[in-house]
Amino acid sequence: MTIALPIITSALAEQSSAPPVAPAQANRVGELFDSHGRVIHDLRLSVTDRCNFRCRYCMDPDYSYMPKMELLSLEEYLRVVRVCVSLGISKIRVTGGEPTLYPELLELLEALGKMPIKDIAMTTNGSLMTERQARAWRTAGLDRITLSLDSLRDDRVAHITRAKTGLQSTINAIRIAQAVGLTPIKVNAVIMRGVNDDELADFADFAREHKIDMRLIEFMPLDSGRAWDRSAVVSADEMLDAINARHELVQLDKHDPHSPSLNFGFADGAPGRIGIIASVTRPFCGACSRLRVTADGKIRPCLFSLKEWDLRPLLRSGASDDDLGAFVVDAVWTKQKGHSINAADFVQPDRAMSAIGG
């Protein structure tokens, strides 16, 4: 399907809180563009806002999940993906919440595996992974996974996640992923001052020991409790200084200009890599190629969007694939230039990360 000129009927526009109609050049053959000239080829698809963790930087203890009837069905998720792929999306990351809680995850991955998608990834805390499941996901078409681990100390893991979990859970998930070929494995840690910033060099040791990409993320204002404080942000420079004090790092050539991370190897040739995601102190918005669809069918052009566009009414009112495609084109065109975290008038999004999708 090729969308030459996105046009939405007034009835559909009323139902869907439609974005403004984009010009014809917003979608060329197999390429989505935003109004700043960025090509969008990466879709983050959230399939649930449920999670068995309640991480302090993400989900408030009193957060209420969305009613299940508001979430998209498997068929609706797949229809959205098919339309997006027809417009040029070539990479899919399945997110949550915790996507392994989604009861139709295997069916979703099997369907995605049959589509012309170059890369299918999933972000998970890994606590529920079994080797049998992981092999089934790999057979279905999942290429790789990203895990979450915010401390190497069991008491801190439990404190941060508000769950009965620990380091061994993540180590088990790493071993399973390596055994079934869900590689390269990335492990994310959100670094917070006074919480886990004294473990930065230890995270480097962990990357070397387990031969994984350890990604250290600056603390972002995406918590449902809206307790984010800039003073808790540990900058990329501070992270690098802490690691270099123990292990000399060398910056690697950036093979993917759209990657959010600054990637480093170890000067002594040891396995493993360090990735720094510096959303606050070194924004990479200018190279962003991402589009997000939430579990309830909202298009979010940016992680920090204050405006989102609702696909669900179209999906449930008989809209054609052309209508859906035009809506996606229009929504992508509204993608903001940057997140404005460092602006005096920055406003934190209403939705937390667990409801947006990682």
pLDDT score recorded for residue 346: 67
Question: Which H or E element spans position 207?
Answer: helix 200-210
Distance of CA 77 to the CA centre of its chain: 16
Assess if residue 2 is contained within a domain: no
Does 27 score more than 80 pLDDT?
Answer: no
Please indicate, yes or no, if residue 3 is contained in any of the structural domains.
no
Decide if 303 is inside a domain.
Answer: yes
* Mean predicted lDDT score pLDDT of the chain: 88
Q: What is the pLDDT of residue 26?
A: 75
Q: Is the pLDDT of residue 336 over 90?
A: no
- Whether 4 maps to a domain, the answer reads no
Q: Please indicate whether residue 114 or residue 288 has the higher confidence score (pLDDT).
A: 114
**Do residues 24 and 272 make contact, with C-beta atoms less than 8 angstroms apart?**
no
Residue 153 lies in a domain: yes
pLDDT band at residue 288 using 50, 70 and 90 as cut-offs: confident
Nearest to 206 by CA among 179, 185, 182: 185
CATH of the domain at 242: 3.20.20.70
Q: How many CB atoms lie within 10 A of CB 339?
A: 21
User: Which residue has better confidence, 47 or 229?
Assistant: 47
What 3-state DSSP class applies to 206? Answer: helix
What is the tens place of the pLDDT at every residue in 202-242?
A: 999 999 999 999 999 998 766 655 666 778 899 999 999 99
Q: Answer yes or no: is 17 within a domain.
A: no
Q: What is the 3-state composition of the chain as percent helix, strand, coil, each rounded to the nearest 5?
A: 35, 20, 50
Of 242, 313, 331, 257, give the one whose Cα is nearest residue 19.
Answer: 331
Q: Is the model more confident about 261 or about 95? A: 95
Residue 55's pLDDT band, with cuts at 50, 70 and 90, is confident
Residue 231 lies inside a defined structural domain of this protein: yes
Q: Which domain holds residue 143?
A: 33-356
Note the pLDDT of residue 56. Answer: 83
State both tokens at 51: 């999670």
Q: Which amino acid is at 189?
A: A
Q: What pTM was estimated for this model as a whole?
A: 0.90
**pLDDT confidence tier of residue 197, bands split at 50, 70 and 90:** very high
The predicted structure's pLDDT at residue 257:
62
Residues near 132 by beta carbon (within 8 Å), at least 6 away in sequence: none
| Total number of domains in the chain | 1
Would 27 be classed as within a structural domain?
no
Decide: residue 123, CB within 10 A, 0-12 exposed, 13-18 middle, 19+ buried. Answer: buried
* 68-109 pLDDT, tens digit each: 999 999 999 999 999 999 999 999 999 999 999 999 999 999
Classify 100 as helix, strand or coil. helix
**pLDDT tens sequence across 166-189:** 999 999 999 999 999 999 999 999
